[in-house]
Amino acid sequence: MYKYLFALLLISSGNVISQPLSVHLVSFTGTETGNKLDISWQVDSVYTGDMYVVEKRADLSASFAEAGRVTVASERASKKYSIEIPLTMERSFYRLKIISVNGQVSYSQIISPGSINRQTLRTFITGTNLMCKLALGTTAIEIFGANGKSLLKQQTAPEATYVNISLANIIKGIITVRAITGNGFQVARVLY
């Protein structure tokens, strides 16, 4: 019986000595790049076999589901990681599930990058040009004069995030910009 206890102590002691420290997250961010979301994170140490799982949920009451995964292949690997995820119309929430090689699981804070700007048409004037940051899924832009008359209609590429429209032939005043999307349309007014 003592031999068994001694062996157990050695195994237990061996595990404590040989187990790597848990992974510590330095940063976890999300940035919109065109029609994709770049999820990036940095850790202070890596061990072969550590796993990072980016999880996503569409609303606060939904469960998280895996959106992407990175597994550390070497202890000489970078301590900075990123994955690209296609943007969607709905507001989304992301977190990083960290599974260390010793089996410990931890989670990052929850982020929801760019959720407001992605769904809202934004317009501004630069000289004689109208710059529009498009809502995701915009298929066309239409410009109306102060009297409500349509002055210009322009198709946009489905993946376009910005459009630049010359206003050189349009009379100055308040113009209305309508972005037509798959869900309807959005309107913004701007003084030209």
Q: What residue ranges define each of the domains in the chain, with the CATH number in brackets?
A: 24-107 (2.60.40.2060), 120-191 (2.60.40.3080)
pLDDT at 155: 94
Within 8 A by CB and 6+ apart from 111, the residues are: 28, 29, 30, 93, 94, 95
The residues of the chain scoring below 70 in pLDDT are: 1-23, 34, 77, 89, 114-119
Query: For the chain, first and last CA: distance in Å?
Result: 89
pLDDT at 54: 96
pLDDT at 68: 94
pLDDT at 88: 72
H helix runs in 2-64, sequence order: 2-18
Please give the backbone phi and psi of residue 7, each rounded to the nearest 5 degrees, phi first.
Answer: -65, -40
pTM for this entry: 0.53
Reduced DSSP (H G I as helix, E B as strand, rest coil) percent helix, strand, coil of the chain, to 5:
10, 50, 40
pLDDT at 6: 29
pLDDT at 4: 28
